[in-house]
């Protein structure tokens, strides 16, 4: 008879903000609890007093003792605190099955070779890795045993908000953190397309074809977005996209699907194959291509893409993609 293994995840302390990485981690934790994973929780993780540091060492030891050899523990990657890394090291040496649920690979994201080297060394120690997609899996397989890497394919997006009816006559939406989206300052170059922008850190724009709608909690956004398409783009230029999208699953893609918005994505991005396979959007090489692509869009094709989004939207609302990935390995 097989030995019953307990399943845990490392619960993290978050600030109340709209930054994407924190939102994804929160959503993942909701799904993990729903499928029977138990949280391992630190207290006062960011308090740096000497007394708290001593108590934290006690917490690390207590948590490590509570997990048995062969149990499963999920860590979001990258790990946000030194205490998490210490706990991981103890569990790894103890023979616990550890799973890295990748949120970002910062070395790739910020084009930092030194950080990337450390991240790859850390990932090698995990029993299993859940990457974003097959492109990220292929990249990691050069450095890590491919047999222990799987793909989640798409971030889930738990949401119960009613969505607005979308039609082909409305603008293009972009939701994101504008500190990392300098390309929005060039959108006036695409005069024939109107853009509705959502998110934090937006500087006032005087571009005639741009309308800033504000910043909202992620669970409210699907019912707020106004437009015909959701734009998945990153970087400083409207003519070229940041290379990180060749490996990354942008959370905004899941947002747009939850909102019933057909997508506009970079044709070289990792998610382009998913969009093409499911016929849920348009592939472009640069943002200059949007005008022609939208102009040539027929009402029939637009409605077909909207219909194709519905089953995927139902899946991400109920945690299908993460649950499916976990079922294959745990």
What is the CATH number assigned to the segment(s) 172-317? 3.40.50.2000
Q: Which of 31-35, 176-180, 234-238 has the lowest mean pLDDT?
A: 176-180
Q: Quick check: 9 and 17 in contact, CB under 8 A?
A: no
Q: Looking at residue 285, what is its pLDDT? A: 97
CATH fold of 7-156+318-329 reads Rossmann fold (3.40.50)
Residues 6+ apart with CB under 8 A from 138: none
**Of the candidates 48, 150, 46, the residue with the CA atom closest to the CA atom of residue 102:** 150
- H helices present in the chain, as ranges: 20-34, 50-66, 82-94, 106-109, 113-123, 134-140, 251-258, 272-278, 290-295, 299-317, 320-329
Q: Looking at residue 4, what is its pLDDT? A: 75
DSSP designation for 68: -
Q: Which of 19-23, 88-92, 126-130, 295-299 has the lowest mean pLDDT?
A: 19-23
Identical fold for domains 7-156+318-329 and 172-317, yes or no, is yes
Tally of helices (H runs) and strands (E runs) in the chain: 11, 12
Distance CA 214, CA 231 (A): 17
Peptide bond into 78 cis (omega under 30): yes
* Domain ranges within the chain, ordered by starting residue: 7-156+318-329, 172-317
Residue 120, Cβ density class (10 Å: 0-12 exposed, 13-18 middle, ≥19 buried)? middle
Give the residue, 179 or 244, on which the prediction is more confident: 244
**Which residue in this structure is represented by tokens 């989640």?**
152
Share of the chain above pLDDT 70, in %: 94
**Of the candidates 67, 77, 69, 20, the residue with the CA atom closest to the CA atom of residue 41:** 67
**Residue 235 region, left (φ>0) first, then alpha (ψ -120 to 50), else beta?**
left
Q: What is the pTM of this model?
A: 0.93
User: SS in 3 state form for 83-101?
Assistant: HHHHHHHHHHHHCCEEEEE
What are 37-55's pLDDT values in tens digits?
999 998 766 667 777 778 8
Q: Which of 1-5, 206-210, 293-297, 322-326 has the lowest mean pLDDT?
A: 1-5
What are 195-238's pLDDT values in tens digits?
999 998 888 778 999 999 999 988 889 999 999 999 999 999 99
Q: Looking at residue 161, what is its pLDDT? A: 66
Q: Looking at residue 1, what is its pLDDT? A: 44
Tokens representing 48?
């740096």
Q: Quick check: 73 and 99 in contact, CB under 8 A?
A: yes
**Is residue 157 pLDDT above 80, yes or no?**
yes
Could you write out the DSSP letters of every residue in 206-221?
--TTEEEEE---TTTG
Average pLDDT (11-35) is 80
Q: Looking at residue 276, what is its pLDDT? A: 97
Per the prediction, the chain carries an average pLDDT of: 91
Residues 6+ apart with CB under 8 A from 296: none
15: confidence class by pLDDT, cuts 50, 70, 90:
low
* SS3 of residue 278 by DSSP: helix
**Residue 279 region, left (φ>0) first, then alpha (ψ -120 to 50), else beta?**
left
2: confidence class by pLDDT, cuts 50, 70, 90:
low
Give the residue, 37 or 159, on which the prediction is more confident: 37
What angle (nearest 5°) sits at the alpha carbon of residue 142, between those of residues 102 and 241? 60
Distance CA 29, CA 14 (A): 12
């Amino acid at each position: 008879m097989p030995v019953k293994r307990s399943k845990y995840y490392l619960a993290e302390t978050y600030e109340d903000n709209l930054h994407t990485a924190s939102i994804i981690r929160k959503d993942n934790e909701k799904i993990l609890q729903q499928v029977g994973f138990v949280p391992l929780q630190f207290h006062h993780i960011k308090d740096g007093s000497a007394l708290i540091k001593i108590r934290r060492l006690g917490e690390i030891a207590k948590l490590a003792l509570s997990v048995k050899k062969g149990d499963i523990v999920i860590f979001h990657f990258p790990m946000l605190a030194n205490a998490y890394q210490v706990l991981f090291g103890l569990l790894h040496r103890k023979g616990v099955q550890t799973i890295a649920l990748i949120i970002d690979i910062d070395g790739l994201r910020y084009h930092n070779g030194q950080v990337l080297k450390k991240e790859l060394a850390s990932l090698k120690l995990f029993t299993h890795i859940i990457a974003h997609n097959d492109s990220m899996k292929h990249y990691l397989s050069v450095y890590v045993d491919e047999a222990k890497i799987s793909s989640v394919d798409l971030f889930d997006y738990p949401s119960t908000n009613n969505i607005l009816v979308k039609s082909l006559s409305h603008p293009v939406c972009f939701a994101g953190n504008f500190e990392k989206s300098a390309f929005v300052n060039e959108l006036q170059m695409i005069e024939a397309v109107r853009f509705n922008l959502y998110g934090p850190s937006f500087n006032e724009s005087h571009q005639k074809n741009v309308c800033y709608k504000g910043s909202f909690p992620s669970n409210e956004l699907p019912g707020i977005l106004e437009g015909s398409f959701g734009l998945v783009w990153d970087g400083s230029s409207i003519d070229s996209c940041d290379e990180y999208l060749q490996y990354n699953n942008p959370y905004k893609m899941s947002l747009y699907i939850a909102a019933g918005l057909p997508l506009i994505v970079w044709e070289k991005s990792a998610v382009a194959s998913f969009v093409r396979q499911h016929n849920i959007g348009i592939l472009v090489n640069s943002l200059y291509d949007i005008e022609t692509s939208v102009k040539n869009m027929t009402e029939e094709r637009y409605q077909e893409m909207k219909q194709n989004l519905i089953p995927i939207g139902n899946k991400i609302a109920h945690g299908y993609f993460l649950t499916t990935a976990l079922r294959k390995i745990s």
